[in-house]
Amino acid sequence: MADITKPQTKQEIETAEAKAVRSAKSESLYSIAWKQFRKHPLARLALTILAILYTVSAFADFIAPYPERYLNARATFQPPTKIQFRDADGRLTRPYVYKQTKSIDMETFQEVWTVDTSRQYPIKFFVRRDNVLDRYVPFPVNLIPVGIRNRLGIKPWASLHLFGVDDPSDQVKIYLWGSDDVGGDVFGKILFGGRISLTIGIIGSLVAIAIGMAMGGLAGFFGGWIDELIMRLVEALSAIPTIFLLLALSAIFYPLNWPPIYVFVAIVVSLALIGWGGIARSVRGLVLSLREQEFTFAAKALGANNWRVILRHLLPQTFSYVIVVMSLIIPGYILFESVLSFYGLGIQPPATSWGLMLNTAQSFAGVTGLTERWWIFIPGIFIFVSVLTWNLLGDGLRDAFDPRSRK
């Protein structure tokens, strides 16, 4: 499977020929796929956007001005803080914000936010806020479960934030995208929620693929009653509508009031349970056809046992399929998680996810319309963008691995 794109100039032809002479080894499937993928502008754009989203969520503690569990009863539904760049004379200065105060309009009894322009509060970058609430465990370390961290004695913490308001009285808050019903910072919550919303798809699909490949591989390779049993199970599972099964599964862990990390794992397991069937079916088909090919007989003739044949010869052949399938089921899982949390059956506060934030929007925004409190709809845009970009990435990968669509 050599690359068949034609070199353009004479020099290129010569170097290409020289290369061909030097390395008789053909290119691997993955390097061809990567080359193909790079020709797909939309998929590359999608990859970039996703990389940004994931990085920003990973460093959410640092970028968000307030911690995840931040509450502020005095600033519910505060409109986004406008950052001012020009002072009273219209000259450029360092960015600053004004204080926003809440009052009640005595005629309509509605909350009205007014901007108090009497004093400027400059924005400071790389601020340290050294109280217990503002401390956090920085990114790569927080992936290690707390129990293991404590046992190993790793207790790093940081208090550095990307930006904050310079206000000694701590009255002025900076809400880039407004605040929600409990005075939480929507901007920060979106970053923190992204940790859950974005990773749940990846981990869920990894677990689903692991189960699916194991089951499909077993069914396809051994056949007989194992095949019959597994395929019956897959058929029965696929007969139950996905979303109803997911909701019923969430009823198992929903009433237990688990800590967020347990809920996260429970959702991952639920997603994997509903998703492995389709993968198992395809992997079984792949294995059935691969089993009859010469290299499998060759491996067997060389004395390889069943497990060696499966692990070394059959499974690697299904990897390109798995990569494509994974990128195509992740967006679905992101949507499922958001729907679950939107119904109030998924992630529970004080943890947050984009679906849960829209649940807030559902309960509070329906009465006020689009222009007031518009900022609590922002999480929906993030769900949309992440699903869209994963779809595009999946399309790009599918084309890259598909020999028929090569240019």
Q: Which residues bind other proteins (CB under 8 A)?
A: 232-233, 235-237, 239-241, 243-245, 247-252, 254-256, 331, 335, 338-339, 342-343, 345, 358, 361-362, 365-371, 377, 380, 383-385, 387-388, 391-392
* Cα 222 from Cα 226, distance rounded (Å): 7
Residue placing its CB nearer to other proteins in the complex, 56 or 339: 339
Distance from the Cα of residue 347 to its chain's centroid = 14
Residue placing its CB nearer to other proteins in the complex, 144 or 236: 236
Rounded to a whole number of angstroms, the minimum distance from the CB of residue 377 to other proteins is: 7
Residue placing its CB nearer to other proteins in the complex, 140 or 369: 369
Copy the structure tokens of residue 297. 């007989």
Backbone conformation region of residue 303, classed left if phi is above 0, alpha if psi is from -120 to 50, else beta: left
What is the CB neighbour count within 10 angstroms for residue 359?
20
Which positions ≥6 away from 326 have C-beta within 8 Å?
A: 205, 206, 209
Helices 378-401 and 29-38: angle between axes, nearest 10 degrees: 130
* Bridge partners, 111 (sequence order): 104
Copy the structure tokens of residue 305. 């046992």
Rounded to a whole number of angstroms, the minimum distance from the CB of residue 106 to other proteins is: 19
Rounded to a whole number of angstroms, the minimum distance from the CB of residue 380 to other proteins is: 4
Residue placing its CB nearer to other proteins in the complex, 123 or 329: 329
Task: Determine contact, residues 192/64, Cβ cutoff 8 Å.
Answer: yes
Q: Among 397, 249, 244, which Cα is nearest to 327's?
A: 397
Rounded to a whole number of angstroms, the minimum distance from the CB of residue 274 to other proteins is: 10
Strand pairing class (160-165; 110-128): antiparallel
Rounded to a whole number of angstroms, the minimum distance from the CB of residue 314 to other proteins is: 28
Rounded to a whole number of angstroms, the minimum distance from the CB of residue 68 to other proteins is: 23
What is the CB neighbour count within 10 angstroms for residue 160?
14
Copy the structure tokens of residue 26. 């053909």
Rounded to a whole number of angstroms, the minimum distance from the CB of residue 1 to other proteins is: 24
